[in-house]
């Protein structure tokens, strides 16, 4: 099975989520950029608000590929204390990396959201959406960071991901929904007929449209 594009994948994902859950005040948090077209359709089906959830990995100084934590939309910070303790990373080093990554996170949020405030997740069902997962590293960081905001539950929802990645995420999130879990998996894009890059402008337009759908402007 191939999805025609991210919109079709989002419609299928949204319909499935509507069927299987009675979600508590759900909000849809999409990982930009490719997750936003999917998240827009999910939010439309669920009649829920849509927002971006930007995640920036905090890399270990000198070994940036190794994550010692993450920061995310809404001022959320998650630190992996096991990594920090084992490598003897100081608070000063953590703050230096976090400050640098926060500048980039803030830039992206302004670019995508403009002046709108992040949607609060506390006490609600937070549905994290992307267009698909490979290793799931960004989604793992998103789940860990979002937990700091104390939502009622965190749900990961994607159209396609390897079975092993979904099983690993099930241990982190309250619920993981993967429509397709192929045994053989090399890249997310191979499960889409059209997997063209989502632009920053498209992200902004979809966020604006989602806000208008929930709060129509007076004529």
pLDDT, tens only, 188-210: 999 999 999 999 999 999 999 99
- Return the CATH class of domain 6-53+121-209: alpha beta
Q: What CATH number matches the domain at 55-113, 3.40.50, 2.40.50, 3.40.630, 3.30.1310?
A: 3.30.1310
Whole-number mean pLDDT of the chain?
91
Smallest CA-to-CA distance from 161 within 180, 146, 142 is with 180
Quickly tell me which residue has 């829920």 as its tokens: 48
pLDDT, tens only, 122-154: 999 999 999 999 888 889 889 988 998 999 999
- Give the bridge partners for 126, in sequence order: 27, 154
At 216, the pLDDT band (50, 70, 90 cuts) reads low
The answer to whether the Cα torsion of 187, 190, 192, 197 is positive or negative is positive
What does each C-alpha distance from 91 to 15, 70, 77, 106, 192 come to in angstroms?
A: 45, 15, 14, 22, 43
pLDDT at 4 over 50: yes
How does 52-87 read in b/e, with b if 16+ C-beta sit within 10 Å? bbbbbbbbbeeeeeebbbbbbbbebebbbeeebeee
Of 36-45, 95-104, 126-135, 210-219, the one with minimum mean pLDDT is 210-219
pLDDT at 219 over 50: no
pLDDT at 47 over 50: yes
pLDDT at 172 over 50: yes
pLDDT for the residue 73: 83
pLDDT at 213 over 90: no
pLDDT for the residue 69: 87
pLDDT for the residue 201: 93
pLDDT at 215 over 80: no
Domain ranges of the chain: 6-53+121-209, 55-113
């Amino acid at each position: 099975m191939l999805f025609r594009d991210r919109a079709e994948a989002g419609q299928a994902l949204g319909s499935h989520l509507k069927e299987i859950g009675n979600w508590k005040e759900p909000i849809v948090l999409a990982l930009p950029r490719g997750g936003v077209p999917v998240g827009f359709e999910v939010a439309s089906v669920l009649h829920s608000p849509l927002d971006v959830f930007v995640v920036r990995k905090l890399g270990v100084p000198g070994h940036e590929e190794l994550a010692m934590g993450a920061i995310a939309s809404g001022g959320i910070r998650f630190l992996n204390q096991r990594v920090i303790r084992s490598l003897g990373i100081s608070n000063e080093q953590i703050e230096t990396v976090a400050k640098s990554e926060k500048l980039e996170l803030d830039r992206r949020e302004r670019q995508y959201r403009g002046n709108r405030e992040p949607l609060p997740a506390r006490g609600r069902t937070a549905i994290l959406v992307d267009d698909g997962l490979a290793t799931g590293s960004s989604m793992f960081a998103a789940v860990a960071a979002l937990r700091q905001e104390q939502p009622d539950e965190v749900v990961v929802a994607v159209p396609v991901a390897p079975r092993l990645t979904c099983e690993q995420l099930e241990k982190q999130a309250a619920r993981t929904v993967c429509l397709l879990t192929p045994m053989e998996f090399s890249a997310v894009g191979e499960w889409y007929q059209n997997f063209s890059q989502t632009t920053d402008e498209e992200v902004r337009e979809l966020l604006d449209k989602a806000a208008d759908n929930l709060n129509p402007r007076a004529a």
